[in-house]
């Protein structure tokens, strides 16, 4: 991919905030930070426009919670056309982390993630999306 160079004019306080973001997030330079911010905005636009995106639903849960595994499988089967793969990791005796790779229309991925994260017994969950 060919890089294109262009100039950017920013007010002093915005440039200061950009430099703080570069330092805080460990970007190697301003260009990388701007690239990250633009990409995030483009992904958000695709989500808002209900375009096809890819992502991952990451959940942490106690696998001993009654009916949780069955409910989790039922939701995943209901949305089987969106799920590419799952990875299950045992964090502790009772605590599991699951990563569910997904691809589809943004609103359907949000719907799937909301149903999974709302299940009783899910301790934490998050959907991360990116454009294709």
3-19 per-position pLDDT tens digit = 899 898 999 999 999 99
Residues whose CB falls within 8 Å of the CB of residue 3, separated by 6 or more in sequence, listed in order: none
- Is the confidence at residue 89, as pLDDT, over 80? yes
Q: What is the rounded distance in angstroms from the CA atom of residue 69 to the CA atom of residue 4?
A: 49
- Is the confidence at residue 1, as pLDDT, over 80? no
52-81 per-position pLDDT tens digit = 999 999 999 998 898 999 999 999 999 999
Q: What is the rounded distance in angstroms from the CA atom of residue 89 to the CA atom of residue 99?
A: 9
Task: Say if CB 29 and CB 22 are below 8 A apart.
Answer: yes
Q: Domains (ranges, CATH) in the chain?
A: 12-48 (1.10.1220), 52-130 (3.30.70.1150)
């Amino acid at each position: 991919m060919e890089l294109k160079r262009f100039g950017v004019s920013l007010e002093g306080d915005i440039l200061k905030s950009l430099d703080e973001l570069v330092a805080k997030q460990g970007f190697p330079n301003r260009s990388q930070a701007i690239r990250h911010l633009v990409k995030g905005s483009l992904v958000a636009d695709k989500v808002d426009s209900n375009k096809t995106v890819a992502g991952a639903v990451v959940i942490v849960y106690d696998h001993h919670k009654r009916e949780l595994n069955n409910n989790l499988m039922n939701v995943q089967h209901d949305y089987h056309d969106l799920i590419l793969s799952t990875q299950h990791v045992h964090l502790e005796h009772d605590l599991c982390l699951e990563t569910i790779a997904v691809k589809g229309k943004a609103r359907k991925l949000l719907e799937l993630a909301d149903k999974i994260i709302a299940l009783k017994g899910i301790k934490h969950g998050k959907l991360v999306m990116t454009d294709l």
